[in-house]
Amino acid sequence: MNQTPIPGTWQVGDDPGHRQFVELKGDDQGFALESGASLPSVTVAFETWGQLNSCNTNAVLVLHALSGDSHAEGPAGPGHVSAGWWDALIAPGAAIDTDRYFVVCPNVLGGCQGTTGPSSLDADNIRYGSRFPVITIRDQVAVEAALADELGIETWAAVIGGSMGAMRALEWSVGYPERVVRAVVLAVSAAASAEQIANCSLQIRAIRSDPNFANGDYYASGARPSTGLSIARGIGQLSYRTEQEFDVRFAREVQDDESPLRGGRYAIESYLEHQGAKLTRRFDANSYVTLSDAMNHHDVGRGRGGVTEALAMVSARVTVAGIASDRLYPLKQQMEIARLLPGDNEVRVIESEFGHDGFLLETDAVGAVVRGALLD
């Protein structure tokens, strides 16, 4: 394969870790997308834990957020740069009990960890790059539904996700009501707000403005738009955390012995640079653009008469939870979802100093919400 390796992107010949792969063909025209474009086929990378029972009724779908992947549980090692992003929740006896459930976590359409995305090779062995089509949350869920068909899973005992993963959990509940018994949606809105679109759009602009981006066709150049991706991650990090946490952790402290008056950095600047550098080592900039754009298109009411009519179609038992300090997806948005769902629903409020990232970091509180939802 005469392609420049992409840090963080799974490629043929790399150690796939615990990933499994399936190629989905769609119909005769391939996978039709909401944009009107199509993909001839889609490869999906996924991981599983536990055993599927004889009736195929104990499957739980766990869905990752923007920069996550299929490695929801397990140690860092070959094929996996970091440990599972929900390690504490997926294990024997844990909130998502692998002695009881067959747990599936796929890498999302448009991603860069094994599932078809902009860094994938097309039929001519050329990376898609700028030719990768616009995708939506609904397109991603359609691929996940095809994966479920391939695995022989007609109905999910539960679909669970936070942030972008919760967008898909909500879309599953609206678009495939007969296939979802329970759902847990954490820290999300029913449709992207103007502020959320603005936040993602600034991150996209930061990446596209990097001279190395080359309109998305940078793969053969040996250069990467790392600066743009790092800045995008910094913008995102501001919305993921809270002012209070930053004041407590960093205040106006300087980084080591540096002097900001002489070109040195404040500690918060170093932190944001560090977060950006970590992401550039494991994530593809085009995927970040593609997935951020998909989040901007998130709207469960599109083509369904609006959010109110769409959520009224849900038949699953949905648990809605939010983070009290979340400034990216504030609690009022989860309250709207709960109010519009059938029945009498209340939002489970998780207290946290970490803001939006609380859905990843407050594992005890989040685990209690998930455990309660699965036992309901």
User: Residues 38, 195, 190, 228: what is their CA dihedral angle, to the nearest 10 degrees?
Assistant: 40
DSSP string, 272-299: HHHHHHHHHTT--HHHHHHHHHHHHT-B
Q: Can you name the CATH fold of 20-193+299-375?
A: Rossmann fold (3.40.50)
Q: What is the mean pLDDT of residues 124-153?
A: 97
Q: Check whether 91 has a pLDDT greater than 80.
A: yes
Residues across the chain: 376
Q: What is the pLDDT of residues 277-307, one digit of tens each?
A: 999 999 999 999 999 999 999 999 999 999 9
Closest CA to 361 of 334, 330, 326: 326
Average pLDDT, the chain: 94
Closest CA to 302 of 144, 108, 138, 142: 138
Q: What is the pLDDT of residues 38-84, one digit of tens each?
A: 999 999 999 999 999 999 999 999 999 999 999 999 999 888 888 99
**39 sits in which H/E element:** strand 38-39
Higher pLDDT, residue 256 or 77: 256
Catalytic residue among 139, 210, 326, 357: 326
In the residue annotation, 356 being an active-site residue is answered as yes
What are the tokens at 8? Answer: 């963080």
HSE (side-chain half, CA atoms, 13 Å) at 94 = 18
In the residue annotation, 326 being an active-site residue is answered as yes
From residue 267, give the alpha-carbon distance in Å to each of 16, 226, 233, 255, 281: 36, 21, 17, 4, 21
Catalytic residue among 119, 299, 356, 357: 356
Q: What is the mean pLDDT of residues 78-100?
A: 94
Q: What is the pLDDT of residue 84?
A: 95
Higher pLDDT, residue 3 or 1: 3
CA 217-218-224 angle, 5° bins:
145
Question: Domain residue spans in the chain?
Answer: 20-193+299-375, 197-294
Q: What is the pLDDT of residue 233?
A: 98
Q: What is the pLDDT of residue 376?
A: 82
Q: Is the CB of residue 297 less than 8 Å from the CB of residue 162?
A: no
> What whole-number distance in Å separates Cα of residue 226 and Cα of residue 139?
28
Q: What is the pLDDT of residue 14?
A: 55
3-state secondary structure of 48: strand
> What whole-number distance in Å separates Cα of residue 204 and Cα of residue 70?
23
Higher pLDDT, residue 249 or 16: 249
Q: Check whether 11 has a pLDDT greater than 60.
A: no
> What whole-number distance in Å separates Cα of residue 189 and Cα of residue 99?
32
Beta-carbon count within 10 A of 101 CB:
21
DSSP one-letter code for 256: T
HSE (side-chain half, CA atoms, 13 Å) at 179 = 23
Q: What is the pLDDT of residue 4?
A: 35
> What whole-number distance in Å separates Cα of residue 332 and Cα of residue 338?
10
- Residue 26 pLDDT grade (very low, low, confident, very high; cuts 50, 70, 90): confident
Q: What is the pLDDT of residue 66?
A: 98
Q: What is the pLDDT of residue 25?
A: 86
DSSP one-letter code for 342: S
From residue 375, give the alpha-carbon distance in Å to each of 41, 101, 105: 37, 12, 20
The model carries a pTM of 0.95
Q: What is the pLDDT of residues 333-348, one digit of tens each?
A: 999 999 999 999 999 9
Q: Is the CB of residue 72 less than 8 Å from the CB of residue 62?
A: yes
Q: What is the pLDDT of residues 161-190, one digit of tens each?
A: 999 999 999 999 999 999 999 999 999 999
What are the tokens at 248? Answer: 């407590």
> What whole-number distance in Å separates Cα of residue 82 and Cα of residue 101?
24
Q: What is the pLDDT of residue 279?
A: 96
Q: What is the pLDDT of residues 97-117, one digit of tens each?
A: 999 999 999 999 999 999 999
Q: Can you name the CATH fold of 197-294?
A: Rna Polymerase Sigma Factor; Chain: A (1.10.1740)
Catalytic residue among 163, 173, 287, 352: 163
Q: What is the pLDDT of residue 242?
A: 98
Q: What is the pLDDT of residue 239?
A: 97
**61 sits in which H/E element:** strand 59-63
